[in-house]
Structure formats: structure tokens, C-alpha cells
Structure 1
């Protein structure tokens, strides 16, 4: 069994996606490699993919879709002509519900089958924003789940339906959860984090700009 993990985040090794891969791959007891797409030649990586039995692409969810660098990789990939080749996906989302990735999940399955690979499934993990930035203790449950995913994959070399469902919860937020997220303390914390990144990127003064507003 040879597995290639591809980090599909434009942020490279400083990303949530890379943290996911580190946590999942730690329990593995068979050969695997990790490639960070942001620092590689996409065409060369597409050729290298053919050497592995299993490809697992880990990426963030960007506005219900994949990052552009992952789409570029797809465009360079060739139709598979070997038996027993598989592709699976792990999508980490900042949103609190995994339904936001449903269009991407559908696309990924169709793409894999058209490229003549076996489709392992797509795991969508909501509520993962800030994993690479915040202290690990704040994400203890998530990290334990990712470790368990690695343990299961080490034993079965697949994604079980139960694991996909467990990591994908909640698929849709309940009315109670929505009300909780709308409470002022939660809004204040979210705004504080958002303003931090605006200041870091020197865009805080422009935060209320509306350049596409029709006059």
C-alpha cells in the first residue's frame, strides 16, 4: 500500500490542511509521502500521482469550492490506466456545518470516476477554522478525531461511512445552534478575529468599502 497525501492549501505548511495531514498520518505503519501543492510544479506532481496506489487530497473549502491550485492539478492529471488506483478527499471548512461543501463533494466524486479512479469518498470537517493558529488544547476533540481517522485508515486503507458521518457532523445547524452563534459574545469573538486579519493585511480601514455597489 503506497499513499500520497497532497496538501491542497495555498498557505502551504502553515495551513490547517497540513495540520490535518500531520495528525492523520502519525498512526500510519505503511509507506506514505506528503506533498505540499503550493510549493510544487503542478504538472510534475500530476505525473508523480500515477506512481501511488492511493491519493488523499486535503484542502480547505473556499466559498463552496476548491482552491485554484487544486483545480490546476486536476487539469494536469491524466486518465488512470492502472488497476487498484484510488482517490479520496478531506475538506476542512471554517463554516460550522458541512452542508456548505455539498456542491464540491458532488463535483469531486464525478471527477474521480471520470478519471477512471476508484472513489474513496470525501470527508468534510466543519468548524476547523484557526487550527493552525490557535493553541492545540482548543481543538482537542478535533485532533482526537483526526488521530482516530488515521488509526482506522491504517487498519482498513479506506474511509468508512461511519467516519465520514462522524467528522461531517453537524451537516446542518439546528435552530438552537444558530441562535447560539448569533449571540453577542460569539459575534464579538468572531469580529475580533476577523479584525485581526484585516489589520495584519493592512485592510482594516477599507473593511466597509463597497466597490461594486451600483450608484
Structure 2
């Protein structure tokens, strides 16, 4: 006697099990990407390709982990942007208490004002990105990036832009302090500013070298 078509000795099949093998493969539009797209992937996900990200879109549990990680990153970005906003706001609205450290001169003040604006944009984009990820749907996200091109770039930029604006705000603040420090007539202030500049160059330089090394290694492997 034949079993009914709806019966299965292995139990009911889940939606993930019913996905065909070819649907799990990385689409061609996501394999043949430009240098800019690979750089955005490296900044957004720590890898210059979309293989792991595409795999995470094949399972609800994996997509949930990605969503939680992105929300955590955006939460930290909002916190950092809020601190930058408050700090830049204080420097913009207050007069320097030390006469030998004048950050109200045109160049530092302009950079502080730019830092203030970038922090506002970082908070805005982080908040919008968090709302987007909290209500993100796995299948909708999969269909969006599957098309590649503009849709893929918009997906990656939604993850990168909050960090970009927060980083830009921080760098503007740092350069404002460096300019004010090097314009000072106080020897101690000049020495501390020089040490700060060396630490900044070493830190940013090491991170940039690692970023370029990872990207170059990926390009050679392809």
C-alpha cells in the first residue's frame, strides 16, 4: 500500500531543507564584484567576499545571529557618536580654559564643528540602520542583494556608513586637537601633542596595513 504523498518517515521538512542546492550557491552577481564592493565587504563583515554572508541568508538561525551582531555594532556606534557629539559640542560652545591651548582659532574650530555635524549624521544613520535590521526579513534581504549592483551597494553602505561618519567625526576632533596643540607656545603641550600624533599614526597605520594585506591576499587567491 502506497504511503500518502504528504507523509514522510523523516518527519515534516523545514523550509531550509526544501531549498535547492543551486539556490545556496553564491550568485554570479555576488562573485564578480568590483574592488570598491570588496573593500566595503571587508569593512562591513571582515571578509572581502560575500560567501559567508550569503550562507547566513539560507537559515533563519544564522540570519538571526547576523541581525543581532549588526544591531550590537550599531548600538556601539550610537554610543560612540553620542560621546563625540557631546564632547564636540562642549568644545564648540566653550572657551578654552588654558590660554596656551587655544582651540577657538579658525582651523581647529572648523574641524570641531565638522566633527559635531558628522557625529549627528552618525547617530542618525545608526538609528535608521538599527530600525532596518530589527525589521529585516531574511528572504527580502536575500532577494535584494541577489540582484547585485546598486542593491548590493546600498546593503553594504547601510552597514558601513554609520561607522564611517563616526570615524570621520573622531578624526576631525583629533586633528582639531593636534592643530591646537602644535600652535601652542607651551613646550609641554607641544611634546604631548607630538607623542599623540605618533601614537595616532602608528595605530591607524597598522590597521591600514592589515586591511590592505587582507584585501591583497584575497585578490591573489582569486
| Shared fold (TM-score, shorter chain, > 0.5) | no
Query: Could you state the TM-score of these two structures normalised by the residue count of structure 2?
Result: 0.25
Higher fraction of helix: 2
Higher fraction of strand: 1
Query: Could you state the TM-score of these two structures normalised by the residue count of structure 1?
Result: 0.26
